[in-house]
Structure 1
Amino acid sequence: MNPIRLVIITSTLLISCTAFADMKFVYHAPESSHDSRYKYHWEILKNALDVTAKKYGPYTLVPSEKLSENQQLAEMKKNSPKLNVMIRETNKIYESELTSVKIPIDKNLIGYRVLLIDKKDQPALAAMKTLPQLNTVKVGQGAGWGDISILRNSGFNVVTEENYDDLFKSLSKGKFKIFPRGVVEVLEEHRKFKNKYPNLVIENHLLIYYPLPTYFWFHNSSDGRLMARRVEEGLRYIIKSGTYRKVFDKHYAKVIRELDLKNRTMIQIPNPDLPDSVPFDRKELWYNSTEN
């Protein structure tokens, strides 16, 4: 056989095998039995993978061992088989080290924050309308969370905890006064922790906003880039087909109504960590609380 023809046939077979091999997506498991923050995101990922199966072949979704957010990032940076798909906000550093799909998974709804507080502090917080006023109280965040630098940049005194569940315990003990939670998280978290911490309530007056586009992230490798390409194609398809909006509304339409976002006092703060690649020009990818 002609050597050139043999090379072409071999290359074709290799490409075909790569495209239709079972893609294994190892995603980060919940950090505790109370942690349900990413149910929506993994459902979106599954939909994106389902609609690309004809082109890219079968896949499996497998949870990782329990990893903190700092550990997740460390595993991703070293192209570890322990984790190869991560949900995280974008910033300039991550963009230089990992491969992202630049479509905000939840329309940036995570950038709208209401506060978990001790109910005794509601009267004082109800009187606050400006950032300088809010800066007078300590804020709780998980170690390694991307919000920390954003909040500190705007003058907040941020207290961190390594363990997710300990944040609710520390709030109840007064270690900090406010725990800003994404609209997509807060109702479920309050439901799960209110029996253990009876004074835990959702503050009823304020809404903090900062742009925090959250992406799917993959290894900075040929395999990672292939996985990212598949997911991006899938996301674009389900956005166009309306499936994305249906899943979004299933998870969040009731939440948006119940938290009454439109009638809260909004305090906007900047995100200095954003790269220039954020697709702000694509309005269909962003939730706007003033229009709902």
Structure 2
Amino acid sequence: MLFNVATVLQTLQALSRLGLAGFLLFLSVFSFAKDTIIYPKQQNITSHQNAYFLQLMQLVMSKTREEFGDYELIPSAQSIPQKRAVLMLAQNQRLDLMWTMTSKKREQLLQAVYFPLLKGLLGHRIFIIRRSDQSKFNNIRTLDDLRQLVSGQGLGWPDVNILKHNKLKVIESPDYQNLFDMLRAGRFDYFPRGITEAWGEYKNLKDDSLIVEPNILLRYKAPLYFFVNKQNHRLHDRLMRGLTLALEDGSFDKLFYQEPNIRHSIEQTDIGSRLVFELDNPNVLRTDLFKEPSLWLSNVELPFE
């Protein structure tokens, strides 16, 4: 925006007669431009998950409006697979922000906002399986038993390396929705999903041939962060500031614990009754945030080491 110098001087002189308050108001108008933030549009089957993150973005940005100015959140024109979204964000191409599970590679390409948005829940994995295969899983007693079966995952998802590192078999697909077709067709035996993902996906699928397996859970440290381009320091600082304020005043925990999908997923999963296999995650960077109990769900908290 270009300003005529004479006009600005005249305006300043007029505002000076209004006193300090008028002058500060003038400065605020010209100091803050609206932050327009484009995030990846998600596929329809994940709409149950999006509600929480969209509400969280609104909360975080509203907490920082006074300090950083107004904002507008806009989804991308089309849905974008995770791997592609990471590359687009790294190259500063039509995306400003995404939320995803962290990995060392992702933190090399992007700037993480070090605040676990799901309090560690994403590292609690249950399976979507074929209903006809439940007897296979009833007979699993050890991790070696599970290693005889094959899991399915999205191409480039951080979980792929975690599962392979723990000697579990994995088949990948570049198309998220195609994974359910592959499961139905017997291309693999189980689809590990975060507990906040599995129940909503199962409900949205409306497919009696698939079920959420009731007995087994994989567990590993897998925080989900907001990510921005490494050069976008302003947005990183705004998100971190907003999340910190929301944690301090209790509004983050209120949103998290009252979000229906999160609450129902924890209740339905009944973690205490499941056979739990602890997996090592070689991809996660150790940070001091792992030592802060307020950032993690206390009733399923895991020691990092």
Q: Aligned equivalents of 1:45 and 1:278: distance in 2? A: 24
Q: Which moved more, 1:281-290 or 1:160-169?
A: 281-290
Q: Residues of 1 paired with 2:242 and 2:73: CA distance?
A: 15
Matches within 5 A, 1:31-70: 32-36=43-47, 37-64=49-76, 65-70=78-83
Aligned twin of 2:200: 188
Identity of aligned residues (%): 27
Could you tell me which runs of 5 or more consecutive residues in structure 2 were left unpaired when the two chains were aligned: 1-26
CA deviation vs aligned residue, 1:177-196 (integer Å, no higher than 9, x gap) = 01011111111100111x3x
Distance 1:278 1:18, change over 3 A: farther
Equivalent residue number for residue 72 of structure 1: 85
Aligned to 2:19: none
Partner residue, 1:10? none
Give yes or no for contact 1:113–1:181 (8 Å, CA) kept in 2. Answer: yes
Task: Work out whether 1:242 is the aligned partner of 2:250.
Answer: yes
Is this contact kept in 2: 1:102–1:278, CA < 8 A?
A: no
Is 1:143–2:155 an aligned residue pair? yes
The reply to whether residue 271 of structure 1 matches residue 281 of structure 2 is: yes
**What residue number does 1:4 align with?**
none
Q: 2:299 & 2:145 partners in 1: Cα distance? A: 23
The one-letter amino acid paired with 2:89 is: M
Q: Tell me, in whole angstroms, the C-alpha distance in 1 between the residues paired with 2:288 and 2:164.
A: 22
Residue deviations 1:101-148 (CA, integer Å, cap 9, x gap):
100001011110111001121122122132111111000001121110
Q: Are 2:99 and 1:87 aligned?
A: yes
Show the counterpart of 2:218.
Answer: 208
CA contact (8 A) 2:158 2:283 kept: no
Deviation at 1:169, TM superposition (A): 1.1
Give ranges in structure 1 of 5+ residues lacking alignment. Answer: 1-14
Judge conservation of contact 2:86–2:106 (CA < 8 Å) in 1. no
Q: State yes or no: 1:257 paired with 2:267.
A: yes
1:11: which partner in 2? none
Structure with higher Rg: it is 2
Deviation at 1:16, TM superposition (A): 6.5
Query: Quick one: which amino acid aligns to residue 123 of structure 2?
Result: G
The match for 2:236 is 228
TM, length-normalised to structure 1? 0.88
Partners of 2:55 and 2:288 in 1: CA distance: 23
Distance in 1 between residues matched to 2:268 and 2:203, nearest whole Å: 14
**Could you tell me how far apart the structure 2 residues matched to 1:51 and 1:262 are?**
36
Other-structure match for 2:180: 168
Partners in 2 of 1:18 and 1:170 — Cα distance?
Answer: 54
Amino acid across the alignment from 1:79: N
Asked if the contact 1:209–1:267 (Cα under 8 Å) also holds between the matched residues in 2, the reply is yes
Q: How many residues align?
A: 272
Alignment root-mean-square deviation, CA: 1.9
Q: Which amino acid aligns with 1:190?
A: Y
Alignment-derived partner of residue 3 in structure 2: none
Distance 2:242 2:300 in 1: 29
TM-score (norm 2): 0.84
Match of 1:3 in 2: none
